[in-house]
Amino acid sequence: MVYTVTLNPALDLSAPAAPASGGAARYGQGDFIAGGKGINVSLLLTSLGVENCALGFLGGFTGQEVERQLAAQGCKTDFLPLPAGCTRINLKLLGGDGGVTELNGDGPEIPLPFLEKLEEKCAALGPGDGLVLAGSVPPSLPRDIYVRLLGQAAEKGVLTAVDASGEALKAVLCRRPFLIKPNLQELEELFQVEIATVSQAAEYAGMLREMGVQNVVVSMGEKGALLADSTGRRLFCRAAQGEAVSAVGAGDSLVAGFLYGWSLHGTGEGALRWGVAAGCATAFTAGIAQGDMVKKLYPLVGNPYPL
């Protein structure tokens, strides 16, 4: 069983919008969609037929709507209901060129006893389980929360993946996660550099792997993604060609696709190719892609090749 953790879930309001230079701005009729990086991973894993359970915290009427939507899509959940506050609403304004303007809110305060309950759930995992920690950390939680949730998971045989940025990502390297997935900008921020080529990105991904991570996948948008794997190899996989609708959730889908591909093939090549197919599928559709679309795109993604 794969368990995904979303510490700061959201109800995303996605709507088409025209650019505005000032004054009143308007956006079109939108849709409320359950969001959060771990939740997105769970949605796609469910659609691909991978048994999983979404964990985290939900609050108020917005939290109830998040849980309702996940149940309607067949996702198993075990969220902790908060005693006060509401799950945040994020506004995502979709431009005609595929770009997205995001206004993301802060999450509700999470009392210490609820955090301890989540830690207990993660500590109970064992061999054969997977643990995905993804997304931002609410202001009310300690900065080392991901390190605490990982605990001794790797030593217990739990397959762990982290999709975070900045200090939260740096902090987990000591736990030797199976997978981390920075995007290109996050990789640049980690090393305080500008990266102009795939080869340069591969060099820095290799440095992260040498710090203890088993597999580092760097998502590079329409170019594709690269992998520095546990054997020291560096592979690149080109994205499939298609019309971008929205990049929202594409990186989360890459994580889900990578884990799915690993379960099928047990190889970096297979995992990376499925990951890129999943990321492309979501980029080419509104919302998180369905598993059938990922499988349709998989043959259109090129075989990974060494750098």
For the record, the structure tokens of 177 come out as 């996660």
Active-site residue, selected from the candidate residues 129, 163, 252, 292: 252
Is residue 5 within 8 Å of residue 55, measured between CB atoms?
Answer: yes
For the record, the structure tokens of 32 come out as 């409320």
* Alpha helices for the chain (secondary structure H): 37-47, 60-72, 112-123, 145-150, 166-172, 184-191, 198-210, 250-265, 268-283, 291-297
Number of residues that this document lists for the chain? 307
User: 3-state class of 119 per DSSP?
Assistant: helix
Helix (DSSP H) and strand (DSSP E) numbers for the chain = 10, 15
Torsion angle, CA of 204/249/86/124, rounded to 10 degrees? -60
Angle CA(236)–CA(239)–CA(242) in degrees, nearest 5? Answer: 170
In terms of Cβ atoms closer than 10 Å to its own Cβ (0-12, 13-18, 19+), residue 288 is buried
Using CA atoms, how far apart are residues 73 and 54, in angstroms rounded to an integer? 12
Q: List, in sequence order, every residue forming a beta bridge with 243; answer none if it has no partner.
A: none
For the record, the structure tokens of 214 come out as 């088993």
Instruction: List CB contacts of 292: < 8 A, sequence separation 6 or more.
Output: 47
Residue 163 annotated among the catalytic residues of the structure: no
Using CA atoms, how far apart are residues 146 and 173, in angstroms rounded to an integer? 10
Active site residues: 252
